Amino acid sequence: MTSELDAVFGALADPTRRAMLSRLTSGSMTVGELAEPFEMSRPAISQHLKVLEKAGLIERTATAQWRTCTLRAEGLNDAAVWVDKHRRGWNERFDLLDERLRELKNRELKTHENEEGEGQ
């Protein structure tokens, strides 16, 4: 699972590939349609698509002269599981940090109130 997860996160690390995935959320597109807004060569587009396909995020099919790309949302499942697992841990740590900061602030307020009370 580690190499598959690495492939997904590696694919998602590039803004062009994320933009391509976003465009595919509206439905399948030919390679030409998908490439339209990007100012890059066809070989560069092809390389991006290979990375997305290898990561399991898209499926490419050929019908006659048309090459179609389709989003494969299930390719994100492992990444979503990983993020959710770690999000719980991060949230628990943030909750503990919040609690500790409240304790320190309350302690500081009490110290300040005691100092003011002694000064009168």
What is the per-residue pLDDT across 53-67, written as a single tens digit (0 to 9) for each?
999 999 999 988 889
Q: Where are the domains of the chain?
A: 2-74, 76-118
* Per-residue pLDDT at 86 exceeds 90: no
Report, at the CATH architecture level, how domain 2-74 is classified: Orthogonal Bundle (1.10)
pLDDT average, residue stretch 106-117? 83
Residue 83 structure tokens: 């993020």
Neighbours of 48 (CB within 10 A): 21
The residues near 17 (Cβ < 8 Å, ≥ 6 apart) are 11, 48, 51, 52
Return d(Cα 62, Cα 50) in angstroms, integer. Answer: 14
Kindly report the average pLDDT of the chain as a whole number: 90
End-to-end CA distance of the chain: 67
Q: What is the DSSP string of 81-114?
A: HHHHHHHHHHHHHHHHHHHHHHHHHHHHHHHHHH
Q: Using a cut of 0.85, tell me whether the model's pTM lies above it.
A: no
Q: What is the CA radius of gyration of the chain?
A: 25
Query: Among all chains, which residue has been given the structure tokens 């976003």?
Result: 22
